[in-house]
A and B are shown apart, each in its own frame.
Chain A
Amino acid sequence: MTEPFRLAILGCGAITRSEHIPAVSAHPGVQLVALVDTDLPRAKALIRNRGLSCRAVADYREVLGQVDAVVNALPNHLHVSSNMDCLRAGVHVLCEKPLAITAAEARTCTEFAEEKKLVLAVGMNRRFAASHPLLKLIIEEGQLGSIQNYDFQYGGAFDWRSASGFYFDRAKAGGGALLDFGVHMLDSVIDWFGPVSGFDYQDDDWGSGIETNLFLDLKHAGRFGEIPGHLQISRTFGLKNRLLVRGAAASAEISVRDPEVVVIHRVIGGAPVSQTLQLENFSGGSSYWRQLDNFVQSIANRGKPEVDGWQAVRVLELIESCYAHKRRIAEPWTEIGAEIRAEARR
């Protein structure tokens, strides 16, 4: 077996702690050589607490001569500059989503990686849940009949304890719930149903640029014809937290809680029945481990990763269009405040 790739993780925030360190530690194809964080004590404490044998470094540029690859989990606004520095130094990059906060920047990174013949993979761990390829098979093999529409909802009280809290700062996060979580959902639906040919977008941004709730109606024009879909995201309250794909013969459901299986609903002789399907021979590990594995295989084989920069560009272009054409969600229960304003003017 070849030597494992030397790898550094940039950023010691929440996702590094909960997912990237366990994935990297469990993968024989990589050797963790450094944890990077401008808050050096944080990186050191993490190394100590997890019993890791790697260096703590405050500036990622210090490790660029010493690693083959990085996992980039810095706050969103730092992705592009750090990705470019890594690529310039000949280092392969697995970058947390979103690849950049603008499509143009994502494009620049992607083109540069191509030019340098380096792997630039985008962290879309949901692609590596077993239900993702399984639903793709189910749709492609016509198991649902012709696809009528889909409904995709994800919501809950926001509780992401980011170390820096960058996600509520427009300049650092680049957007709200759509950019943060919508990237996953849009990446998935584009992969399943094809390119987006039309949309109608509403959110509850009152001027900060950080939407908390959103509704997005989409139309896909892919090889299954035109498919309408409805997407809803909330950072304030619980939703159904599932994707439901309705076909002429049956429906398929993926629950956010159990993304390893697909439940098929159909009616037999007037009785509704359901059946849980799962892929056999699907490799173990967390979705983050599988994502890392795909990254490692892509580097080893000089191949294309499952989610490359171009897919990120497509998704970011769509998000930018949504933001550019957004309408405000009606919140009639807030209008009593507007009355007061009218009174004050009188």
Chain B
Amino acid sequence: MNWRNETVFVTGATGFIGGRVCERMMQAGLPKVRALVHGMHRAARIARLPIELCPGDLLERESLRQALGEAKVVIHCGLGPASGIVRGTENMLAVAHAAGVKRFIHVSTAAIYGITPPPGSESEDAPLRRTGDAYCDNKAAAEKVVLKYGERGLPVVILRPSIVWGPYSAWNTRLMDDLREGRVALIAGGHGACNTTYVDNLIDAMALGLENDRALNQAFFITDGERVSWGDFIRAHMALMEPMPEVGEISRAEIEASRGRSSGLLLGSVKAAARVARSKEFRQMLMQVPLTEAAMKRAWNWVSALPPEKRERLRARFGVRRAVAKSANAKFIPDAVTEGTQSTTVFFSIEKARKVLGYEPRVRFADGMKLVEQWLRYAAYL
């Protein structure tokens, strides 16, 4: 379809990916972009664009109907609250279906195969299993709902990016903060597969998903198509810093050994959830003042279903110490989510995206790093 004269509706528009989608839609010369905004205070980045900020909540179907307006193209980057990933996606699908939306791009994630995707999950037809991680499992369940609506006639395309990086990405900014504070280690030599997905490459894939009818009802891994390791990713950031920080190596056995002695990730996460739940900010969010057990539980569910980088950001924001301390020889010990994320050996294949979508990553890792460096300077990280 030709989407360049359509009104496009973007969910998750106040986030990193959705924000860049809005910018790119403006740059593509689209006549009208409508952005779903749940928390208006988070809209600073997109408020500078001549787009429509539409208040709404993925969990309130009626609000979505109003926010969608006359748009016939939906790019669904939104997550909503933890437990609501599936319900929010279903609400958006139902509203889009009823409104006769002509294309629905669902931004899924390669993490449906888990924090540490096991060997064998390189291609899209690999079977899905429950991973035990709320974010991963909810995103996997959301895909099923998307396909269900696809069968009902809503033209859907599913994209599964992996480590989406670029200006404003927490993968980049958090790494810079962590490097500065000595909270980075090269896990198992840094050989883990990073599966970088430069944000503009992902958006190119979205545009292809809008144009290409052969893509309907299918899911595609989207990455930069380069075998960038976590060591490569971390070292590229180290090289930007003056003086260059020192980063030690740590084996998974060492991490395991130290974890036996520490309180572990789970306790740390529960503590984090409690701290978050007690915070004024979170209570404002829930609009409830007394801290009940139910609220605590909700907070825990909420935190545990966030994507890993968001969990980390929360942890940093609320000053919750990481669950693991330094080991006896004072090495930095990464937490379990970081360890899991950086331990996969799987490089997702983009062959299907190449063949069916016509996708070819335009931004190579080295070029993306140059853009990120320029932005990091602008954003006062360097």
**A160 pairs with B23, CB closer than 8 A:** no
**A336 pairs with B47, CB closer than 8 A:** no
Say yes or no: is A282 at the interface (Cβ < 8 Å to chain B). no
B249-266 Cβ-contact flags toward A at 8 Å (1 or 0): 000000000000000000
Interface centre among A155, A334, A336, A341 (most CB of B within 10 A): A336
* Interface window among A61-69, A92-100, A232-240, A308-316: A232-240
Chain B residues whose CB sits within 8 angstroms of the CB of A234 once the complex forms: 379-380
**A210 pairs with B41, CB closer than 8 A:** no
Chain B residues whose CB sits within 8 angstroms of the CB of A157 once the complex forms: 44
Say yes or no: is A204 at the interface (Cβ < 8 Å to chain B). yes
A131-173 Cβ-contact flags toward B at 8 Å (1 or 0): 0000000000000000000000001011111100100110000
With the chains together, A212 CA to B4 CA distance in Å?
27
With the chains together, A240 CA to B381 CA distance in Å?
11
Q: Which of A205-256 contact B (CB under 8 A)?
A: 205-208, 210-212, 234-240
Closest beta carbon of chain B to A161's beta carbon, Å: 5
Interface size on A, residues (CB 8 A): 36
A317-346 Cβ-contact flags toward B at 8 Å (1 or 0): 000000000000001111011101100100
**A237 pairs with B47, CB closer than 8 A:** no
* Residue in A211, A238, A340 whose CB lies within 8 Å of B48: A211
Interface centre among A208, A211, A234 (most CB of B within 10 A): A208
**A237 pairs with B379, CB closer than 8 A:** yes
**B4 pairs with A344, CB closer than 8 A:** yes
**A176 pairs with B47, CB closer than 8 A:** yes
* Interface window among B50-58, B84-92, B319-327: B50-58
Say yes or no: is B371 at the interface (Cβ < 8 Å to chain A). yes
Chain B residues whose CB sits within 8 angstroms of the CB of A211 once the complex forms: 48
Closest beta carbon of chain A to B28's beta carbon, Å: 6
Q: Which of B25-65 contact A (CB under 8 A)?
A: 26-29, 40-45, 47-51, 53, 55
**A337 pairs with B44, CB closer than 8 A:** no
Closest beta carbon of chain B to A160's beta carbon, Å: 6
B184-214 Cβ-contact flags toward A at 8 Å (1 or 0): 0000000000000000100110010000000
Say yes or no: is B362 at the interface (Cβ < 8 Å to chain A). yes
* Residue in A158, A205, A208, A236 whose CB lies within 8 Å of B41: A158
Chain B residues whose CB sits within 8 angstroms of the CB of A336 once the complex forms: 200, 362-363, 371
**B378 pairs with A331, CB closer than 8 A:** yes
B208-222 Cβ-contact flags toward A at 8 Å (1 or 0): 000000000000000
- A341-B53 contact given A212-B47, A333-B371, CB 8 Å threshold: no
* Residue in B53, B166, B200, B379 whose CB lies within 8 Å of A168: B53
**A333 pairs with B372, CB closer than 8 A:** yes
**B380 pairs with A238, CB closer than 8 A:** yes
Chain B residues whose CB sits within 8 angstroms of the CB of A240 once the complex forms: 380
* Residue in A158, A161, A210, A341 whose CB lies within 8 Å of B27: A341
The residue in chain B whose Cβ has the minimal distance to the Cβ of A204 is B48
With the chains together, A155 CA to B381 CA distance in Å?
12
- Beyond A157-B44, A161-B284, A331-B375, 4 additional pairs, beta carbon < 8 A: A204-B48, A205-B48, A332-B371, A336-B363
Write the residues of chain A forming the contact surface with B, with a CB cutoff of 8 angstroms.
Answer: 155, 157-162, 165, 168-169, 176, 204-208, 210-212, 234-240, 331-334, 336-338, 340-341, 344
